[in-house]
Amino acid sequence: MGEEEKQQRTHVAQLLAIGTIASVTGVALGLLIDWFPIAASEEAGPIDTLWDVLLIVSVPIFVLVQTIVLYSVWRFRMRPGEELKDGPPIHGNTRLEVIWTAIPAIILVALCSYAYVVLRDIETAEAREMKVRVVGEQFTWTFFYPGEGGKEIASNQLYLPEGRQVRFDVQSKDVLHDFWVPAFRQKIDAVPGITTRFRVKLTRIGTFPVVCAELCGLGHSVMRQSAHVVSQADFDEWMADKQQAAEEGGGGGGEEPAGGGGAAPDGKAIFTTGSSPACGSCHTLADAGTDATIGPDLDEVLQGKDAASIQQSIEEPGAEVTQGFQDGIMPTNYGDTLQPEEIKALTDYLVEVATK
Ligand code: CUA
């Protein structure tokens, strides 16, 4: 064996050793890291497995490329006095080229086929799926349930029954949004003019964040709500309450009045947490302890306002827009998602603060 050949073998052996150790470490780290929040849907299983498989396949490829690059920089770098030297003249190596084209092609086709099978699997509709229409707007989500007599029931809270497949029909009133519940693993763009959809079958009772995953304007970061997965019995009860509230007229029926238990709703609680998005997540109001600056500072603009004009500003934010602020930023659905007594409590509270 010639000296050069011996050296080449040493290089390959060293490369293999470094590459193997780095790959094993990378894959182990990748699998150890808890990438996702707790899973609440049946679809999460195959999606998470797909992620793990992609990780196991792609980490060694990344490591292989990086190892060869870094090793070459380290071992074959130009040393002083070699400035004018050139490497040996090398022409194409057909066998090598066939190998490095065929292997990636096989890997890609295999992974695409696998991903397609997973997608088909998680998109299959079941016979008794439940439909929820999800409408995004700057900067809130409204959820519409099929009610009795074909009338939809609006809610600013997403309630879903465990064990049931749900189909979300996602729409937008204004710009692009993206309906995402990380615990369900699925997300889809809300596109003005069309309806997009995805399905999930819920497997875990709990409350999970609903997030807008598409930068949609000033209030994008407050476009967060909650998905409440409850038992079928609790869901039916909630739905019946909603249905009743809708029949009694007024708003489309909102969340239970803040304070609950039949007590009069608490205006301050609605301001800080009971509305969605909460007033306080965009407005400064010293009395409520909020200091957000997306909307006008209510400590300033409420001065001298009467109940009628405050109520109008809640229900029709476009009627009178504070100078320096843009129309269309504040959601226009508070009149639908808050119940009349909640609007009244909120207005009374703001009047009280304004005249302090
Ligand atoms: Cu809607 Cu971001």
Output the domain CATH number for residue 164. Answer: 2.60.40.420
Question: Whose Cα sits closest to atom 1 in ligand 1?
Answer: 177
Amino acid in the structure at residue 164? R
| 285 and 194 in a common domain | no
Q: In this structure, is residue 91 part of a structural domain?
A: no
Q: What is the distance in A from the centroid of ligand 1 to the CA of 331?
A: 12
Amino acid in the structure at residue 307? A
Tell me if 18 sits within 8 A of 55, measured CB to CB.
Answer: no
| 52 and 154 in a common domain | no
| 163 and 65 in a common domain | no
Q: Which atom of ligand 1 is nearest to the CA of 138?
A: 1
For residue 264, the 8-state DSSP code is P
Q: What is the distance in A from the centroid of ligand 1 to the CA of 140?
A: 8
| 222 and 298 in a common domain | no
Q: Which pLDDT score, from 0 to 100, does residue 251 have?
A: 46
∠ at Cα 51 (49, 52), nearest 5°? Answer: 65
Q: What is the distance in A from the centroid of ligand 1 to the CA of 215?
A: 5
How would you list the strands of the sheet with 165-172, edge to edge? 152-155, 140-146, 130-137, 165-172, 196-201
| 11 and 118 in a common domain | yes
Q: Which pLDDT score, from 0 to 100, does residue 263 have?
A: 63
Q: Which atom of ligand 1 is nearest to the CA of 213?
A: 2
| 65 and 163 in a common domain | no
How many folded domains does the chain comprise? Answer: 3
Largest CA distance in the chain: 97
| 233 and 300 in a common domain | no
- Of 170, 169, 180, 145, nearest in space to 159 by CA: 145
| 296 and 192 in a common domain | no
**CB-count exposure of residue 337 (10 Å: 0-12, 13-18, 19+):** buried
What distances in angstroms separate CA 342 from CA 70, 210, 271, 275, one per listed residue? 64, 23, 10, 9
| % of the chain with per-residue pLDDT over 90 | 38
Question: What is the spatial distance between Cα 204 and Cα 183, in angstroms, rounded to a whole number?
Answer: 10
Of 212, 247, 282, at which residue does a domain stop?
A: 247
Q: What is the distance in A from the centroid of ligand 1 to the CA of 180?
A: 10
- Of 222, 226, 317, nearest in space to 277 by CA: 222
What distances in angstroms separate CA 281 from CA 95, 222, 278, 353, one per listed residue? 63, 7, 5, 18
Question: What is the spatial distance between Cα 59 and Cα 291, in angstroms, rounded to a whole number?
Answer: 45
Q: Which pLDDT score, from 0 to 100, does residue 184 have?
A: 94
278-287's contacts with Cβ under 8 Å and 24+ in sequence apart are 278/222, 279/346, 281/222, 282/139, 282/219, 282/222, 282/330, 285/353, 287/353, 287/356
Q: Which pLDDT score, from 0 to 100, does residue 259 have?
A: 41
Q: What is the distance in A from the centroid of ligand 1 to the CA of 292?
A: 17
| 147 and 61 in a common domain | no
Q: What is the CATH number of the domain that holds 305?
A: 1.10.760.10
CA quadruple 144, 295, 349, 351: dihedral sign: negative
Amino acid in the structure at residue 235? F
186-190 and 196-201 beta bridge pairing: unpaired
Q: Which atom of ligand 1 is nearest to the CA of 221?
A: 2
pLDDT in tens, the chain (356 residues): 577 788 888 888 888 898 889 999 999 998 898 889 999 999 999 999 999 999 999 999 898 889 889 988 988 888 888 888 887 788 888 998 999 899 999 999 999 999 999 999 998 888 888 999 999 998 899 999 998 877 888 888 899 999 999 999 999 999 999 999 999 999 999 999 999 999 999 999 999 999 999 999 888 988 889 999 999 999 999 999 888 887 776 544 444 444 444 567 888 888 887 787 788 888 888 888 888 888 888 888 888 788 888 888 888 888 888 877 877 778 888 887 788 888 888 888 888 888 77
Of 217, 247, 277, at which residue does a domain stop?
A: 247
The per-residue DSSP string of 28-84 comes to HHHHHS--SPPP-BTTHHHHHHHHHHHHHHHHHHHHHHHHHHHHHHHHS---TT-TT
Q: In this structure, is residue 262 part of a structural domain?
A: no
313-355 per-position pLDDT tens digit:
888 888 888 877 877 778 888 887 788 888 888 888 888 888 7
Q: Which atom of ligand 1 is nearest to the CA of 216?
A: 2
Q: What is the distance in A from the centroid of ligand 1 to the CA of 136?
A: 8
Q: Which atom of ligand 1 is nearest to the CA of 139?
A: 1
3-state secondary structure of 321: coil
Q: Which atom of ligand 1 is nearest to the CA of 176?
A: 1
The two tokens of residue 255 are 């969340």
The ligand 1 site (C-beta within 6 Å) comprises 136, 139, 177, 212, 214-216, 220, 223
- Of 185, 199, 186, nearest in space to 132 by CA: 199
- Give me the domain span that covers residue 340: 267-354
Q: What is the distance in A from the centroid of ligand 1 to the CA of 192?
A: 13
Q: What is the distance in A from the centroid of ligand 1 to the CA of 179?
A: 8
59-77 per-position pLDDT tens digit:
998 988 898 899 889 888 8
| 110 and 182 in a common domain | no
